[in-house]
Structure 1
Amino acid sequence: MVKKYFILFFIFISFFNHFQIYGQVGDTLKLDIKETEKRFIDNNLQLIAGRYNIDIAGAEVITSKLFPNPDFNYTNGIAAKTDPGSNLNAYAERTFGISQLIQTAGKRNKNIKLANLGVEQSKHQFFDLLRTLKFSLRSDFYNLYYQQQSARVYNKEISSLARLLDTFRIQSKKGNIAEKEVIRIQSQLYSLQGEYNDLFTNIDSLQKELKIFLRLPGQTYVVPQVSTIAPRIKTSQVPYVQLLDSALVNRQDLMLSKSMIEYSKVNLKLQKALAVPDVSLSVNYDRLGGFGTDFFGAGIDINLPFFSRNQGEIKKADLSLKQNQVLLDDLLNRIENDVASGYQASLRIEKIADGIDPEFNTNFNRMINAVFENYQKRNISLLEFLDFYDSYKNNTLQINNIMLNRVLSFEQLNYLTGTSFFN
């Protein structure tokens, strides 16, 4: 009976080596990384909302180009004290006036330039949002892929141990197997099920994030498809200086920071221009003026800058310019250090990944078959058998983790440099 059990157990192991269970519900959607990015670009609500900011800033340019509207006034008399016998009355008195504000010191052009800089900043913000969301999307995609690969390992071991436990219980009742072996397998099974549940908690979280990114129905189950995880170029093949130069040229947040300095400079000029009074020109008509009938007049209105010359706003604009310069220097420093740190981390994980024997899984599968035979012959104990089988799980999970960290290090460098070196 014991020999028969080992034959059945070996069949179960072989069968579940080719069987994959994810435990998903709803429709399964298989996507590779290109399909995922396309769906993301077309459907992500944050990107759609971000695009509107560019149009909103563009509308501000239209507003800045418009001239001030002229002012018109009209007065009709309703009551007046007149000389006795006069044939005039209050209703005969009418006055008209029209005035036009003339902006001085180039205020209109400066406002137009600020509005155009606002459009530029909105574009930088949008593409920086795209860079950030794309990094999160791709990281979640590969994280989910390797989590699901790890779920296969748990599926195989849990399914095998569950069947082994059933067989051992039968054999224990017949007196062929000690009860302590049944308890040992049962304990191992419960431990695996707990780990498996934790793993699927992470998978569920990644599923939720991906479905939000792609605007998919809640019942969809995403299965990432990865044909190869080898990049077209290795980190060690790209000099650090090249990565840093790329970041300094392509980072949208850096472009935004530089644009903010230019915006502050123009705003400082505008605030100084606002200290120069605008001029309002007017033309007036008075039908029954004090000087005579049908009186026409022209006038000019100008503010006298005796007290307020926009001193406070000028100082604020100057301080804002200095502040933005400091923020730019800080961002440059952080970019340099982030790229250097990400580059070193990628080199380390690349070295570890390159040291993994590609035949490891094949050799390990062959060894575990030998362990089955030795356990069948009672050359090793149940504890040794389970420990070796558990080490297979741990090593496979560790390899998955190393390969995931390698891919994520590439994604991190792409994100830090604003490029696609390692796609």
Structure 2
Amino acid sequence: MHLKPVNVFWLCLLLLVTIRNPAFTQTRTQGTDTLQLTVKQAEDQFLKNNLQLIIQHYEINNAEAQVITARLFQNPDFNFSNVLYNPNTKRILDVSSQTGEYTFSINQLFLTAGKRNKNIRLAKIGIQQAQYQFFDLLRTLKLTLRNDFFTIYFQQQSARVYDAEISSLTKLLTAYKVQYSKGNIAEKEVLRIQSQLYSLQSELTNLNVGIDTTESQLKFLIRAKPNAYIVPRYDYQLDGKEVVLTTPYQRLLDSAYVNRNDLKLSKATLDYNNVNLSLQKALAVPDVNIGVNYDKQASYIRDYTGIGIDFPLPIFNRNQGAIKQARIAIDQSKVQLQNQQNQVESDVAANYKVALRYETIYNSFDPKFKGDFTHLIGEVFKNYEKRNISLLEFLDFYDSYKVNTLQLNNIQLNRVTSLEQLNFVTGTPFFNQ
């Protein structure tokens, strides 16, 4: 059985108004905890509030403190000794000029073979390493932040498509149940709409779970309230642009060699190990301890004053093991540096190809496609009103519209995140949106 013409008209009118009216969007309620952010505002909050960055920055402060320690000279050593009990004079702690006895000495350790300067150089390289680790962490977290931001934005756009269709089908299902109870429509029509509604609700739930997970990570990065609802504000400006194709590949690779902090860290590690080998060789050279001592009357002459020198003889232990370890560390860091350089080249090549593919496929779409497709819904409505197509054909068309819109959002997201990945692997914000 079919719906009466008057019922058909009002149901279709209800469907069309619901589809084309964004006021029916009901993915999640935006309340007082709604946080609207641009990507720049999100980055500013991230740089100000992220605890991981604050923790890592303390490592730089620690490394700077180690330079201060390395610059310090050894403290002199002072020793004083006095007679506890003089049996001749019956005095305790006798320090008298005639009968007292006491000694004292001052010793100073002098580092040889440039050990102090080498330790200072190691500490300064340690500052560089801490800085590179900090900026590499910053680079990694910023990639996560920006990818999360864009993911939430485009997935929320997709969720609105589901909201519109679910709202439409919910109202239609209610109306069809009324018509079915009156015997104006077959049960299979109700079941068809009901089945599609449940499928859409399941898909939307999965999508919202993904949004919630990504949103939770973004809120953690910027230290937003856990119950805040983030609404990214973003204006996609890449339509028809060939930002990857017009950027020379060699420029990207050269930038990665210069600006990748993980590569700088590998170079600094090699420098550190070279200086450490020099230090270990220097440690094989004995340090000299020079001292001056005074003895009031226990020596062969009264008021004895002497000077002494003290150093170990490098006969057995010449720091052979540590020197060998330092040489091994140099060889290891050279291999690590080469591996890191290879990784940089591979990262840039692979991500350049991916970004170029997404740019090519997106730019191959007709810019008017989305608008034309949306306009076509109105034409389909007119045909349905004239009974040229069935309700199921109308719903199938709208489902096709949903699929194409989701695919377009997904391609836009992949294109933006591929550009962010290129920024990440080159260490340079070439394509910041």
* Superposed pair shares fold, TM > 0.5: yes
Q: Which of 283, 289, 306 is equivalent to 2:292? A: 283
Conserved 8 A contact 2:67-2:123: yes
Give, in whole Å, the separation in 2 of the partners of 1:334 and 1:81.
81
Against the structure 1 CA distance between its residues 90 and 399, is the aligned structure 2 distance closer, same or farther, given a 3 Å change threshold? closer
Indicate conservation of the 8 Å contact 1:151/1:196, yes or no.
yes
Superposition deviation, residue 124 in structure 1: 0.9
Residue 50 in 1 paired to residue 59 in 2? no
Partner AA of 2:195 in structure 1: S
Q: Say whether 1:210 aligns with 2:213.
A: no
The partner residue of 2:84 within 69, 73, 78 is 78
State the match for 1:357 in structure 2: 366
String of CA shifts for 1:332-391, please: whole Å, max 9, x gaps.
111101101111111111011101222222221232223333334443344333222111
Deviation sequence 1:271-319 (CA, Å, 0-9, x none):
0000000000001111122312211111111011111111111111111
1:219 to 222, 227, 230: 227
Query: What residue number does 2:70 align with?
Result: 64
CA distance in 1, matches of 2:156, 2:377: 23
CA distance in 2, matches of 1:401, 1:265: 49
Give me the TM-score of the superposition, normalised by structure 1.
0.95
Are the equivalent residues in 2 in contact too, given 1:233–1:421 (CA < 8 A)? no
**In angstroms, what is the RMSD of aligned CA positions?**
1.8
Residue 197 of structure 1: how far off its partner (Å): 0.3
Instruction: From 253, 261, 265, give the equivalent of 2:270.
Output: 261
Checking the alignment, whether the CA contact within 8 Å between 1:135 and 1:412 is kept in structure 2 is yes
- Equivalent position of 1:11 in the other structure: 14
Asked if 1:23 corresponds to 2:7, the answer is no
Equivalent AA in structure 2 for residue 3 of structure 1: V
SS at match of 2:198: helix
Give 1:152 deviation, angstroms: 0.4
Question: In the alignment, which of 400, 412, 420 is matched to residue 421 of structure 2?
Answer: 412
Moved over 4 A (4+): 79-82, 86-90
Partner of 2:257: 248
Partner residue, 2:198: 190
Letter in 2 for 1:355: S
Could you tell me which runs of 5 or more consecutive residues in structure 2 were left unpaired when the two chains were aligned: 95-99
SS at match of 1:60: helix
Counterpart CA distance in 1 for 2:389 and 2:86 is 122
User: Which sections of structure 1, spanning at least 5 residues, go unmatched?
Assistant: none
Q: In structure 2, the residue corresponding to 1:340 is in which secondary structure?
A: helix
Instruction: Please give the per-residue CA displacement for 1:190-234, whole angstroms capped at 9, x wherever unaligned.
Output: 000000000000110111011111111111111000123428861
Q: Deviations over 1:236-270 (max 9, x none)?
A: 00111111011001111111111111111000000
Residue 97 of structure 2 corresponds to none
The answer as to whether partners of 1:9 and 1:160 remain within 8 angstroms in 2 is no
Name the CA distance, whole Å, in 1 between partners of 2:6 and 2:361: 42
Fraction of identical pairs, as percent: 52
Whether 1:177 aligns to 2:185 is yes
Provide the rounded CA distance (Å) in 2 between the counterparts of 1:379 and 1:406. 40
- How do 1:127-206 and structure 2 match up within 5 A? 127-206=135-214
Instruction: Using the TM superposition, give the Cα deviation of residue 16 of structure 1 relative to its aligned residue in structure 2, in angstroms.
Output: 4.3
- 100-109 or 232-241, larger mean C-alpha shift: 232-241
Q: 1-side partners of 2:382 and 2:331: how far apart?
A: 76
